[in-house]
Chains A and B, each alone.
Chain A
Amino acid sequence: MNDADRQLRQLLKIGTARAGRAPAGLAGPLAALLPADAAPPEAVLWLSLGALDLWERSGFVATDRPAPAPAHAAAPEMPRPCPPRAQAVLALLLRGLHPAGLEAEWLCQLHQHGGQLPAHFLPKLLDAATRQPNLRAPLLPVLGERGHWLAHLQPEWSWAAAGADADAALWDTGTPEQRVAALRNWRMRDPRAASAALSTAWSSEPPEQRAALLAVLGTGLGPDDEAFLEAALDDRRKEVRAVAQRLLARLPGSRLAQRMQDRLLPLLRVEKPLLRPAHIELALPAACDAAMRRDGIGIAPRYGLGEKAGWIVDMLAAIDPQTWTRHFDRTPRACLALAEHSEFATVLVRGWALAVQHHAANAPSPGLRAWLRDLTTWWVDAKPALRDAVPDSLFDVVAAHFAQDEDGASSALFDALSGRWIGDGFQMRLLVRLAAGTQQAWPASLSRRALQRLQTALPVLPDAGHPWLVRQMLSGLALVLDPATAAASEADLRAAWQPDGEWSRAVDEFFDLVRLRHEMTLSFQEPA
């Protein structure tokens, strides 16, 4: 009958006038339905079409083609159920009624709860994380078997289709971007196997892709990678050499760092003149030889510094800053004081800041945390010229570890803020940056300290200060402060400060957000 329907539709398409023929009669019982007399062909055409359509729709026959292979199903699993109230909160967040960023926190809390993302949320969140890569890290651990299974079915979600097989397949056959992503996933799972795969393929890799591939070793960087990176220092392409230099400079105890130290130590000494503060005397190197260039000295210009001073910065940046606390036998704060009074203060501060930024990026040791803390608190009331020597990107590293406050290093910053910090653009910008860069909620003690400073500072908020920055800081803090502590502080803060108009709305928004987060935390504590 399908054939008859097609012929009728064809006839309708060209028209009975042009086709010059009447529709063919219908077969079987349908023929009896049509008028037998000489009806116009157009009427017969419409009636046949209508009758056939009904005939087909009431007698549907499924095409009996079984699936080619036994359908592949997701492995069953029994995750800890996600409480319904938490699900309701997520549904609210996904409707886009609240500022972005809360989804990530929700996912982290689900992970802490030990649950997995309910299946009906998977497509929406996989889509969201495809567009916003910073959602991927919190999403991956809660995807579960179901989520990984689902991610295989949609090409855009291949980043979540983890599993050794998927990565190995992509590494062999993917586009350059997919190969980089696959290697990174692999590296997170099994650093040795991934670097082995890279070194096997290295000689056949197109030169223009080598730099991107080599940079993947930055994930899970360890002493095992040194030999390979050291060899890459002699690569023919400048981009590849630059990646190797950068990674070796970050690798604790690398030979490159040792060479830098050997070059630099003879140039530095502590001078203790009478009646004047001790400071570092620095002799600039005379020339930059081939060996120095191989290690990355003088490759990129350092803006605002002379050529030779730039070399010093390159050397300092490659040396673990803990070397200096040992060498000068002083705390990082005291080292900074030595630098401050030196003729080359900017050079030393810039070099150390870069070194701290590189070495403290992942899981900093207590020594490095001390450097992070001292550098930040020193920066807060340093001279403007010296503040500029510290690159902004350092504070992203500070922010990334700001929530770990067991040693009180983060709380120390709030003690260091000056009296009128809320009117100081530098300090405000630092706080905005810290709040924006933190991935986890701040612990209760740190949040309490921050709120105390806020409570005393807000009422004296000068109108001529930086209202925009203060707003930004408030909305940033609302997202990172410990929600229970912040919610509990509401009465005190509102008692201390009753602003009107714009500011009153800002405070309302601040506490609305804090309460929503509080509610979110509580929602996970409900029995499912």
Chain B
Amino acid sequence: MTLDSHQILALAPDSASAKAGSQLATPRNWSNLGRSDAALWGECQGSGKTPYRTQIDLGGPAFKCTCPSRKFPCKHGLGLYLLRASEPTLFGQIDEPAWVSDWLQGRQVRQEKKAERAAPDASPEAAAAAAAQARKREDKREDKVSAGLMELQTWLHDLAREGLASVRSHGQAFWDAIAARMADAQAAPVARRLRRAGSMLYQSGLRNAEGLVAHELASLYLLTQAWQRIDQLEPALQADVRTLLGWTMSQDEVLRQSAVADTWRVLAQTTFDDDRLRVRSTWLHGAATGRWALHLQYAVGTQGFEQQLAPGTVFDGDLCFYPGAWPLRVQIQRQDDPRPLSAIAAPSDFDALLDTHANALAAQPFLERHPVLLGGLVPDSADHGIVRDAQGRRIALHPAFRHPLHLLALSGGHPLTVCGEWDGRTLLPLSVWQDGRLYNIDSDFLT
């Protein structure tokens, strides 16, 4: 498959690369262009004497270039791909030169190795010793977390006694202190949530900040309770609690889980900054299973994301779910034949959403976001903070949603199908499906 220029630019690590890439997408800069079923390649005359060799594995897509840039993909890769999109005739179907086929083979080998690595291999004694070591480390960590959460519980009791109103005057430092304590206790996600809760209090223009903080802290309190009684929980829910407290599972470990094969539709994608990381969160929906899957990727600085999932495409693949009581997060084990999306599942109505959400919370009460494909929504032309369902019921939009006018523009007062996240009170629209096209709000609704 080749992506369209918009999707290609979405791969750029930053806007400077996007600009440089689109300027390189002219035939003048390129020589020895070619393509095969698997790849695109060309040579780009840079400032040096020898031209850079740029190649793209269309399956990923994955990029490689001989230029010294540390950005990934680099401007040459983007330029080559954009040129292919704008002037496909320049690329003749020819045999891959050695420098292309070598790279493609290398990738193949590495991927096979990766699959091998996923299989456990060790002698029984070594494995036993490693397990004992791990058990010891694990015990130590559990003790740390237990101590930390006891402290958090005491802190929350004090806060309830003193009152949120008087705590407010202590400033952000008050929240940072307990967050730092949680970080020491190796409960990083708890630390992050506390810091964010504190900052919500001091954020101007946030409606009902105290209510939000109250609910967030109460949820953390429930988490401390859940940890104290973790042995009584279902194993799947235990995994959720441990994830929420900062235990992570390595990618290889996840990939060893049994995979779910389906045709996966890439329905929505957002990219945002979290501290120094850039996070790309993508919702996938299985055509046959109807299952939702959340794919998260992280990148530092100007690095690009490893796996390319363009919203509005569909691929055949195997996904491995992280264990949990209501599994959503996945790693991709296999991704084949990505192509433009031509159809989506029949959207659900609001009542069906409420039912599935209740089931989800019953299974995993700490669930924060619940994906949904809702049909028949009409954005309200008077109150931009709500949409109405087919029965005229008001559904509030998430306070962070910034594109009510884009929704109105696409709907024109007529019903829309929206893919979004429901948190139990508000809907955060992430994409819109209309007239056979997916509009991903984060990338297609320009502001």
Which positions in A face B, CB cutoff 8 Å? 8-9, 12-19, 40-43, 45-47, 49-50, 53-54, 56-60, 62-67, 71-74, 84-85, 88, 91-92, 94-95, 97, 119-124, 145-146, 149-150, 153-154, 512, 515, 519
Contact = CB atoms under 8 A, between A and B. Distances in A.
Contacts of B166: 15
Contacts, number: 170
A153 B381 contact: yes
Contacts of B446: 91, 94-95, 121, 124
A15 B392 contact: no
A88 B22 CA distance: 12
B136 interface: no
Contacts of A145: 412
B409 A65 contact: no
Given A58-B424, A92-B22, A12 B409 contact: no
B22 A97 contact: yes
Given A50-B221, A58-B424, A60-B424, A88 B354 contact: no
Nearest to A147: B409
Nearest to A48: B218
Given A42-B161, A54-B365, A57-B425, A120 B406 contact: yes
Interface size class of B (residues with CB under 8 A): 35 or more
The 10 tightest CB contacts between A and B, nearest first, are A15-B163, A57-B424, A73-B413, A74-B412, A50-B218, A49-B218, A66-B392, A62-B393, A42-B160, A46-B221
- B interface: dominant SS: helix
B173 interface: no
Contacts of A42: 156-158, 160-161
A124 B413 contact: no
A67 B379 CA distance: 11
Nearest to A157: B405
Nearest to A45: B160
Interface string B8-26: 0100000100110011001
Interface stretch (B40-48, B192-200, B208-216): B208-216
B224 to A, nearest CB: 9
23 contacts: A8-B214, A12-B164, A15-B162, A17-B163, A40-B157, A46-B157, A47-B221, A49-B215, A50-B221, A57-B424, A58-B361, A60-B357, A62-B394, A72-B413, A73-B414, A85-B86, A88-B6, A120-B409, A120-B444, A122-B409, A123-B409, A124-B447, A146-B412
Nearest to B358: A58
Nearest to A52: B218
Nearest to A49: B218
B380 interface: yes
A53 B22 CA distance: 49
A58 to B, nearest CB: 4
A389 B267 CA distance: 65
B4 A88 contact: yes
B409 A15 contact: no
A85 B6 CA distance: 10
Contacts of A85: 86
B361 A60 contact: no
B26 A74 contact: no
Contact of B350 (A46, A62, A97): A62
A111 to B, nearest CB: 19
A120 B439 contact: yes
Contacts of B384: 153
B184 to A, nearest CB: 23
B378 A71 contact: yes
Given A62-B350, A124-B446, 4 more contacts: A45-B160, A60-B357, A88-B6, A153-B405
A92 B4 CA distance: 12
A74 B219 CA distance: 44
A62 B160 CA distance: 31
Contacts of A56: 424-425
Contacts of B210: 9, 13
Interface of B: 4-6, 9, 15, 18-19, 22-23, 26, 86, 156-158, 160-166, 210-211, 214-215, 217-219, 221-222, 225, 350, 354, 357-358, 361-362, 365, 378, 380-381, 384, 388-389, 391-395, 403, 405-406, 408-410, 412-414, 423-425, 439, 444-447
A13 B425 contact: no
B413 to A, nearest CB: 3
B164 A13 contact: yes
A12 B214 contact: yes
B361 A16 contact: no
Contacts of B161: 15-17, 42
A150 B412 CA distance: 7
Contacts of B362: 58
A45 to B, nearest CB: 5
Contacts of A119: 409-410, 412
Contact of A92 (B9, B394, B423): B9
Contacts of A124: 445-447
A42 B447 CA distance: 45
Contacts of A71: 378, 380-381, 388, 413
A521 B225 CA distance: 65
Contacts of B354: 59-60
Nearest to A66: B392
Contacts of B380: 67, 71
Contacts of B394: 62-63, 65
B67 to A, nearest CB: 19
B135 to A, nearest CB: 32
A46 B217 contact: yes
A53 B219 contact: yes
Nearest to A92: B22
B211 A67 contact: no
B37 to A, nearest CB: 24
Nearest to A123: B405
A123 B211 CA distance: 33
Contacts of B445: 120, 123-124
A74 to B, nearest CB: 4
Contacts of A123: 403, 405-406, 409, 445, 447
A47 B225 contact: yes
A8 B218 CA distance: 11
A213 B162 CA distance: 64
The residue in A15, A84, A122, A519 that gathers the most chain B C-beta atoms within 10 A of its C-beta is A15
Contact of A149 (B393, B413, B439): B413
A12 B210 CA distance: 9
A9 B414 CA distance: 39
Contacts of A19: 163
A515 B311 CA distance: 29
A18 B163 contact: yes
B74 to A, nearest CB: 17
A150 B425 CA distance: 27
Contacts of B447: 123-124
A129 B365 CA distance: 47
Contacts of B162: 15, 17
A382 to B, nearest CB: 42
A154 to B, nearest CB: 6
A38 B162 CA distance: 20
A50 B366 CA distance: 10
Contact of B163 (A12, A47, A72, A95): A12
Nearest to A91: B6
Contact of B393 (A43, A64, A88): A64
Nearest to A490: B28
Contacts of B405: 123, 150, 153-154
Contact of A88 (B5, B389, B395): B5
The residue in A43, A50, A73, A122 that gathers the most chain B C-beta atoms within 10 A of its C-beta is A50
Contact of A67 (B357, B388, B408, B414): B388
Given A12-B160, A56-B424, A149-B412, A95 B5 contact: no
A125 B157 CA distance: 52
Contacts of B393: 62-64
A57 B5 contact: no
B413 A15 contact: no
B4 A84 contact: yes
Nearest to B383: A67
